[in-house]
Amino acid sequence: MAMHECLSCGGTYDDGLARGASYFHVCPPESLVEAQLASGVVVTLPLAAFAGLSLVPDVATRDRLIDAGAPPDTLAVERARTERRRAGHRNENTLRREGPTGELRVLVREGAGRRLRPDLELVLER
């Protein structure tokens, strides 16, 4: 089975599912986190931007972790989390068919495209 990588979200997937069904990739939404940093500044950033930080639910938890020895600049207090459609997302569902016999599929949204990843192998859990 041929694996593909979505150039919009980085997801990897196979077009074919069990029993010959087709899979049409749609990029998942992006999570946005509003958090208060150690400096007191409140920022709203994609979840991935908080890599290397521990998000804690409240100030009391942050203070307890600092008292236990955690460096303050490694903690951020999460205030809210929302989702938004990813910029340049891909949606492989069919918008319409073109060509004399409808053989050409027009995608809902092309996004940044996809590329074949022959180096990846589909692993099925049993």
Quick one: what percent of the chain has pLDDT higher than 90? 79
pTM for this predicted structure: 0.70
d(CA 43, CA 56) in angstroms, rounded, equals 15
| DSSP class per residue in 83-119 | EEPPTT--EEEEEEEESTTS-EEEEEE-TT-EEE-TT
Q: How far is CA 11 from the centre of its chain?
A: 8
Residue ranges per structural domain of the chain: 3-28+86-116, 30-84
Chain segment 55-111, per-residue pLDDT in tens: 999 999 999 999 999 999 999 999 999 999 998 999 999 999 999 998 899 999 999
